[in-house]
Amino acid sequence: MLFMEFSAPVEYMNKTRGLLGRWDGDTSNDFEFFNGTLLPPKSSERNIFEMGSSWQVTDGDGPKKSIFQYKPGKDSSNFTSAGFIPKFTDELDFGDPDLEEEAREVCGNDTSCLFDVAETGDIEVGRLAEAEEQNFENSVFARDTFPPVIFGPDAVYVNLGDVVEIQVNVSDPAGLNLTIETGDEVPPDVSVYFNGDDVTLLWNVTSDEIFNLQLVATNTENSSAEYWPVVYMCSCRNNGSCNTSNSMDSSLVSDDERFVIMDCVCQHGYTGQQCETDIDACAANFDPCFPGVNCTDLPPPADVDGYECGECPVGYEGNGTMCQDVDECETDEGLLCQHTCINNIGNFTCGCHPGYHLSENNFNCSDIDECVMPNNCSQLCDNTDGSYNCSCWDGFSLDADGQSCQPNNPCEGGTDPGCDPVGGWCMVNGTGTAVCVCEAGYELANDSVTCLDKDECELGESHCHQLCNNTVGGYTCYCEDGYELTYDPAQPCKDIDECYEGTNNCTLNEICVNIHGTYYCVCAPGTSISNGVCVPDIPEITPPAMSTEPSSTASWQTQTDETHTDGVTAGTDGVTAVTDGVTVVTPPTSQSIAGPITEHHVAGSTTTIIISVLSASAILIVVALIFWRMSTRVKTVQLAGKSYPGSTDELVVKQIRKSETLEMKRM
């Protein structure tokens, strides 16, 4: 026989169905088949077995689907014996009248004892069953002994930093001696004091770490009772207070945890679950200042609106939150433009009339000598102020188009010796001889009839100052990497300022410096290089003594092609430097130093420059020069009715957001 006892909290009353019965105080509806059919309370064990079998789990979907986990290839059928029928105590069959008589003498009316003898045929099994029955009754008696009574407040409200006193009353109904202990999770900060039936818990609240505050009372019969209140912890910082309106919400408490961290109501200027964070009004308002304007978060009690915007960028006016472009062309500064003034967002540029180009001072306009550049004149070019005119050699006259020349006495009939018809003419000179003449950009070959292309690039007759590409009858200029082509006859190739255009890879901890066709990322003040990147310096608690004199020495480990005395060293394998100067890291897309800066090329794909012996004052001067260059740089040049890159407002806005904003915030 298998005896089983099931206990459940009273919350489950009227909520069960099946093998446990209805548990609603009515015994007439406990024996219920799965289909709802009811058995009378005094039904036979066989009928009760059939009722229980109707609740057996299956593998199919539905309310009886097994929720057990099975090994692969196994299911509920491996643990079920469909044909099994047990023996029932109300259908005893001893098979031997003498055995039955002896069993009834030993067992009396004990059904369990009689059943064991009938099934085993051994009277000694019955005697053992009787002894076990007595032990069971003793266990039931011990179980029915009333446990201690322990009583205290259902909820305990504590504040971090307080000393909390909790009064608990403990007694035993039978007057048995009691042992009182705290639960395993209770920290040493909780002390227990006894005074008769009164127990005092003294808690020095030094932490808001979650635990279960439990007190267990056990009597000499090993029957126990537990005190387990709900702890509501208020651990607000910065003078925050707790909102107790939902402190008794049952959903905040689980069966295995009764510790609730209460919500905090923060003072102005603080936020977070425990009011531990100062509200960053700049971040909360999604950087409310105008692009390029520094936003300063005000300390508490300034709340979400506690921020201040700095001054508008150069070229703007306003309160820092709203900035409007200043039309410099309406100011005295714009009047410095010799020809035209073009207002841009944040600054202005000077422009020139067709036939002129902007001088190096970015204000005056100089005449373009179109005759030193490729032009449409077939023979001679005469430069004029702002333009040019075409003319012809002796013996030729200018066509109506003002560009082409034609011989006054062209060859006729069979007098043409076979002059090149593409790049020249045939004319009869003053002596009556037919001769061949070539257009500008060509020269007559030794055969006196063929016009050969003249290589202006090879002869040095081009106006290109970097690279030249010869073409049939002329040439074109092109530029080295880091430069762009313009119509400036003196220097057609202009340096591309990657720092200003926002096409560099410098990080927020770096300042971009443009130098002759390339750029370099310089660690900003307050940062230093670590593992090849610029990171903010970590302030020390006790700063070391600082010398007012700049260091004149620098040490590093590197390999270089050449060392110069101008304070610049280029390395090929990265540099780890200890210096009071500025570490300059070349991004992967920029060019290594060349030309007038170091006059050598660095091997390798990564170049690191150490600008040593650079004082703090020199750093500020470099930053100021970068700022001046951004604010005064001429963005537009109008020449011969053409507009060049950087002249539209859209590009200027893009440049401001990508470059000037970062630089201004650093400065």
The number of C-alpha atoms within 13 Å of 403 and in the hemisphere containing its C-beta is 6
| 3-state SS assignment for residue 497 | coil
With a cut of 50, say whether residue 245 has pLDDT above it.
yes
With a cut of 70, say whether residue 505 has pLDDT above it.
yes
Q: For residue 250, what pLDDT is reported?
A: 66
Read off the pLDDT of residues 221-231 as tens digits, 9 standing for 90 and up: 888 999 999 99
With a cut of 90, say whether residue 609 has pLDDT above it.
no
CB-CB contact of 380 with 392 (8 Å): yes
Listed range (32-41, 192-201, 610-619) with the worst mean pLDDT: 610-619
Q: What is the mean pLDDT of residues 143-163?
A: 89
Q: For residue 163, what pLDDT is reported?
A: 95
Q: What is the mean pLDDT of residues 300-316?
A: 92
Read off the pLDDT of residues 483-495 as tens digits, 9 standing for 90 and up: 998 877 778 898 8
Read off the pLDDT of residues 185-223 as tens digits, 9 standing for 90 and up: 999 999 999 998 999 999 999 999 999 999 999 998 888
Q: How many CB atoms lie within 10 A of CB 358?
A: 24
With a cut of 80, say whether residue 428 has pLDDT above it.
yes
Confidence band, pLDDT 50/70/90 cuts, at residue 539 = low
With a cut of 90, say whether residue 145 has pLDDT above it.
no
With a cut of 80, say whether residue 655 has pLDDT above it.
no
Q: For residue 520, what pLDDT is reported?
A: 86
Q: For residue 278, what pLDDT is reported?
A: 93
Q: For residue 580, what pLDDT is reported?
A: 37
Q: Residue 379 has what DSSP assignment?
A: S
Most confident range (mean pLDDT) of 143-152, 265-274, 638-647 is 265-274
Helices marked H in 359-469: 456-459
Q: What is the mean pLDDT of residues 269-298?
A: 93
With a cut of 50, say whether residue 109 has pLDDT above it.
yes
With a cut of 90, say whether residue 48 has pLDDT above it.
yes
Q: For residue 648, what pLDDT is reported?
A: 33
Confidence band, pLDDT 50/70/90 cuts, at residue 507 = confident
As a whole number of angstroms, the distance between CA 534 and CA 556 comes to 17
Q: Residue 132 has what DSSP assignment?
A: H
With a cut of 60, say whether residue 631 has pLDDT above it.
no
As a whole number of angstroms, the distance between CA 420 and CA 462 comes to 25
With a cut of 80, say whether residue 234 has pLDDT above it.
yes
As a whole number of angstroms, the distance between CA 534 and CA 527 comes to 6
The number of C-alpha atoms within 13 Å of 73 and in the hemisphere containing its C-beta is 0
Q: What is the mean pLDDT of residues 294-311?
A: 94
CB-CB contact of 127 with 117 (8 Å): no
Confidence band, pLDDT 50/70/90 cuts, at residue 666 = very low
Read off the pLDDT of residues 324-352 as tens digits, 9 standing for 90 and up: 999 999 999 999 999 999 998 888 999 99
Contacts of 264 (CB under 8 A, 6+ apart): 234, 236, 240, 241, 242, 243, 272, 273, 274, 275
Q: For residue 465, what pLDDT is reported?
A: 87
- Kind plus residue range of the DSSP H or E element containing 513: strand 510-515
With a cut of 60, say whether residue 316 has pLDDT above it.
yes
With a cut of 70, say whether residue 574 has pLDDT above it.
no
599 vs 267 pLDDT, higher one? 267
Q: Which of 61, 115, 50 is nearest to 84 (CA)?
A: 50
Confidence band, pLDDT 50/70/90 cuts, at residue 126 = confident
Confidence band, pLDDT 50/70/90 cuts, at residue 161 = very high
Q: What is the mean pLDDT of residues 383-405?
A: 94
Phi, psi values for residue 643, rounded to 5°: -110, 140
Listed range (189-198, 364-373, 564-573) with the worst mean pLDDT: 564-573
Q: 129: buried, middle or exposed (CB in 10 Å: 19+, 13-18, 0-12)? A: buried
Classify the C-alpha dihedral 562-565-566-571 as positive or negative. Answer: positive
Q: How many CB atoms lie within 10 A of CB 642?
A: 10
Confidence band, pLDDT 50/70/90 cuts, at residue 134 = confident
CB-CB contact of 178 with 170 (8 Å): yes
Q: For residue 246, what pLDDT is reported?
A: 56
Provide the terminal-to-terminal Cα distance of the chain, rounded to the nearest Å.
Answer: 89
Read off the pLDDT of residues 444-478 as tens digits, 9 standing for 90 and up: 999 999 999 999 999 998 999 899 999 998 999 99
CB-CB contact of 434 with 415 (8 Å): yes
As a whole number of angstroms, the distance between CA 445 and CA 300 comes to 88
Q: What is the mean pLDDT of residues 409-417?
A: 87
Average pLDDT score over the chain: 79
Q: Which of 34, 37, 78, 74 is nearest to 56 (CA)?
A: 34
Give the gyration radius of the chain's Cα atoms. 50
CB-CB contact of 168 with 228 (8 Å): no
Phi, psi values for residue 162, rounded to 5°: -85, 165
Listed range (9-23, 116-130, 136-150, 529-543) with the worst mean pLDDT: 529-543
Beta bridge partners of residue 530, listed in sequence order: 533
247 vs 181 pLDDT, higher one? 181
CB-CB contact of 330 with 296 (8 Å): no
